[in-house]
Amino acid sequence: MKHPLHVRVLVILAAAMGADGVILAAAAAHLADATRLQPASSMLLFHASAVLAIVGLREHGILHPGIGIAAAWGFVIASALFAGDLSLRHYAGHSLFPLAAPTGGTLLIASWLALAVSAAWPRPSS
C-alpha cells in the first residue's frame, strides 16, 4: 500500500524527535545545571509517540485524515519550538525568539484539541 509522502515525512520526523529526546535526557542526567533539558526531552519523546499514534489511527480510519494530520504537524512544529527554545537557552544562553516556548506550548494544547476533534469528526465517505 502506498502512503502519501507527508505521512512518511511525519514518521521520519517523529523518529528524529525520539532520538533527540533521548539525547537531551542523557545530557540532562549528566551535565551540571541542565534543568531546562529534561522538559525539552519530555516534550520531544511524548509528542514523537503521539505523532506515530496519529499516523496509525489515521491508517485505521479512526481519525479524520485531514484534521489528524494537522494535529500531527502541530505536534512536530510545537515540540521543536518548545524543545529548541529550552535547549538554546541552556547551550547558548538566549532564547530562540521571545515567547518561543510558550508559543510551542500553546500550539501543543491546540494540537491535542485538534486530535480530539479529529476523533469525534466523522471520516469523509469515499
Domain ranges of the chain: 5-120
pLDDT (tens place) for every residue of the chain, 126 residues total: 677 899 999 999 999 999 999 999 999 999 989 999 999 999 999 999 999 999 999 999 999 999 999 999 999 999 999 999 999 999 999 999 999 999 999 999 999 999 999 999 877 665
> Helix crossing, 5-30 with 37-59: angle to 10°?
150
Range list of H helices, the chain:
5-30, 37-59, 65-92, 100-120
Report pTM.
0.93
